[in-house]
Structure 1
Amino acid sequence: MHALTTAWPFVMMGTVTAVDLLAGPQYGYLSLLALGPAFACLVGGALRTVLIGGMALVLSLLLGLYDELLGSRQSDLNLISIAGVTVAGVLVTLGRQRRERELASVRSVAEVAQRVLLRPVPRRAGDLRAAVSYTSADAEARIGGDLYEVVIGPGGVRVIVGDVQGKGLEAVETAATVLGAFREAAQDEPDLLGVSERLERSLNRRLSGEEFVTAILAETAADGRLTLLNYGHPPPLLVPFDGDAIFAEPEVNAPPLGLPGLDVEGPRPYQVPFRPGDQILLYTDGVIEARDRRNTFYPLLERSFLLAGDDPEAALEKLRLDLKAHVDGPLHDDAAMLLLRCNEPSH
């Protein structure tokens, strides 16, 4: 597409030249040579626009000489039109380049903010191996409201994956609030309920109105089980090493974090077996709500076989590429995935 846009000025001027040579001067096609510098401002720099404008002027002079129009009122108007469009094209080009520089600066800041907000997870955490994938729906900003973290605390490994309602900087600020509270509470609180209460208090000071955060918290246990706490979040995908993949759903659904006005009971911790060789995928709804061109949701459970293997990073990359192939275009929502694999206990 970029190559086609680059070639358009030359295609237009070549076409106008050919038509004028075939049709003759009586139809007055020479003024259309101004399409060259008009299209030139779409890509490249100001110098390129000036050179294409100069080429259009030279063609206009040569064709005017061939058509015996040189010095006539029509020929002069053609030259003035081309020169005017060239000047306008240079101004447009300079403005486009300035916006491109500003966008590059915004992208750079967003990437730094993303790295600070979503730090790389440890590849090994206790008896677990971890891999993460994050794809923002906002390709220009490269930052969104999905969040994840893995904390190695005194009592084991604690994990969070969440999704902030909304987009933009407000969602990023809320995600930062959740992650900051989780990183601190995961080191101090004796259980997941204590961690979640700290998250609730932090969010209630930050949020207003109907803003909320769906999240799932996980904690490893010494007895080979994984404790989960689900706040209105899509259930994790459990992939046993010797069985079929299933969604680890809670018995009772609970509301998201940050909705203190709802007079309902919060989530209850529930446990799932998590033995050596087992894997569990925590993800945001941008994964299961990704649609293809036929409006079909991504079949995560059916694609769980892609997670087979001993390397969680390689497995997660296969799943990410399969998700992109399913959508065959930009995602409509952020998609975060955190894959945990249970290893044999180290001694």
Structure 2
Amino acid sequence: MKPPAPAALSPLVVLPLAVMALVAAVDLAAGPGVGFLPMVSLGPAFASLVGGWRRTALVGVLALALCLVLGVYDGLFTERRGFTAMASVVGVTVAGLAGAVMRQRREIEFAGVRSIAEVAQRVLLRPVPGVAGHLRAAVSYTSAVAEARIGGDLYEVVATPAAVRVIIGDVQGKGLEAVETAAVVLGAFREAAYDEADLAAVGARVARTADRALRGEKFVTALLAELSPENGAAFLNYGHPPPLLMREGGVVHFPEPAQYALPLGLGLHGTDGPRPFRVDFGPGDQLLLHTDGVTEARDRAGAFYPLGERADLLKDPNPDAALEALRQDLMRHVPGPLHDDAAMLLLRYRQ
């Protein structure tokens, strides 16, 4: 596995040669008495920042040759200054070679860890089906870490003969530890969604698994849903943000339970689990399940993202395009990268 190559037009790529050319021009213009010659060593120093050890060695050889030519031109080898300048070029080149080798090793190690993490994420968060029973589905996941594709949010859509069962959750923490926790919860849900008769039994089974697996203050907020043409939508809320429900006519509200329950993993504290609650869900309706990385995203003034006010962005006939429009609007709302992962799962009643 090779580390990523620097962009061909990057200024850092040509910087070592440009610096050496500038030093040579200044040295020729100033004459032998000024002492710019040791600055030729900046060439291999900059080369080690962006190139591999071969490029650093090549620039070092060019710098040494340039130093030799300028030293002869300036008549510096009749005294120590010429040899001192060449020694500085050799020393910086050797240090640059060591730095380039260490940087390349770190890049290879990072690429390997990232590759493993991405594979784990793909296995963990499988693509949701575009069509699940009587629903159309689309998903969006934006990590809070720049260029990262792994985080602490989870989701799944399972179409069973009785209904479509869905989970979305937010694991406390980030990285591979969060992925391990998410794998426990998703594994339990995927089995229970097929095996259990109703949503309450699914939730109880997932909760038992989480309570056994999680230690200390680790927890997962989660929202479980069961949707069928006959019974609408039923929810179990384990301390998770309520979903956005948009009716066919554009009316928006956020279904909430009468009383919130503790997140998954905290059931051993002896509190009761959540009680299922049901809402109507029919043709033309759509449901947006999301994590708090969406609703808690702030703009420069500190205002939260107004999800309810932006629900009209979901009117695009294509659910993937609608969800992408909402994601882009979310990213424009924040002044920089998100502070938390943002997962969104859009479900539409298929007419």
TM-score, normalised on structure 1?
0.92
1:204-245 deviation line (CA, Å, top 9, x unaligned): 110111111100011113335211111110111112220232
Aligned counterpart, 1:173: 180
Aligned counterpart, 2:3: none
Q: Cα gap change, 1:238/1:205 in structure 2, threshold over 3 Å: closer, same or farther?
A: same
Which whole-Å CA distance do the structure 2 matches of 1:19 and 1:50 have between them?
24
Aligned counterpart, 2:75: 68
Moved over 6 A (4+): none
Q: Superposed, which structure 2 residues align to 1:106-121 within 5 Å?
A: 106-121=113-128
Amino acid in the other structure paired with 1:127: H
Matched, 1:216 2:223: yes
1:176-224 deviation line (CA, Å, top 9, x unaligned): 1111110111112122111111011101110111111100011113335
Amino acid in the other structure paired with 1:41: S
1:55-95 deviation line (CA, Å, top 9, x unaligned): 22222223223322134311111111101211221221122
CA contact (8 A) 1:146 1:334 kept: yes
Matched, 1:335 2:333: no
* SS of structure 2 residue aligned to 1:26: coil
CA contact (8 A) 1:107 1:140 kept: no
- What RMSD over aligned residues (CA atoms) do the two structures have, in Å? 2.0
Bigger mean CA deviation after superposition, 4-13 or 233-242: 4-13
Task: Return the offset for 1:45.
Answer: 1.9
Q: Percent of counterpart pairs with the same letter?
A: 61
Aligned counterpart, 2:246: 239
Matched, 1:157 2:164: yes
Amino acid in the other structure paired with 1:21: L
Q: Cα gap change, 1:66/1:100 in structure 2, threshold over 3 Å: closer, same or farther?
A: same
Which whole-Å CA distance do the structure 2 matches of 1:245 and 1:21 have between them?
74
Aligned counterpart, 1:56: 63
Aligned counterpart, 1:264: 271
Paired positions, count: 344
2:99 to 92, 104, 110: 92
Q: Superposed, which structure 2 residues align to 1:1-347 within 5 Å?
A: 3-139=10-146, 142-223=149-230, 225-327=232-334, 329-344=336-351
Amino acid in the other structure paired with 1:66: Y
CA contact (8 A) 1:240 1:277 kept: yes
Which whole-Å CA distance do the structure 1 matches of 2:12 and 2:298 have between them?
30
CA contact (8 A) 1:61 1:70 kept: no
1:38-64 deviation line (CA, Å, top 9, x unaligned): 010111222211221122222222322
Task: Please list every run of 5 or more consecutive structure 2 residues that lacks an aligned counterpart in the other structure.
Answer: 1-5
Task: Return the offset for 1:140.
Answer: 5.8
CA contact (8 A) 2:245 2:252 kept: yes
CA contact (8 A) 1:131 1:312 kept: yes
TM-score, normalised on structure 2?
0.91
Task: Return the offset for 1:263.
Answer: 4.3
Bigger mean CA deviation after superposition, 256-265 or 86-95: 256-265
